[in-house]
Amino acid sequence: MGGPLPPVRQDRGARGPLSRYLCPTDRRGIHTDVSDAGLKLLREARPTNDTALKEALDEAAKNSEPDPLVTAVEAMSPTR
């Protein structure tokens, strides 16, 4: 199969929202950690994301035969 994997930066002390590192037991796997800065960004983005999702689901619900994915997402939504 292919050659060795390219190196992945091991930013354990990441300055950005995410850091990636190779799986210690299987070099094919790459793990991603979310930093405190990344969690802060997620919290800040949540209201905008929730609003956009609600609007998209409301629009999709106007269809007389809603898509199964829409039904599943609506069932999981804590705001419904």
pTM (whole model) above 0.85: no
Cα-trace Rg, the chain: 19
Whether 57 and 50 have beta carbons less than 8 Å apart is answered as no
Gap between the terminal Cα atoms of the chain: 48
pLDDT attached to residue 12 = 47
Note the pLDDT tens digit of each residue in 29-49.
888 899 899 999 999 999 999
Whether 14 and 33 have beta carbons less than 8 Å apart is answered as yes
pLDDT attached to residue 13 = 47
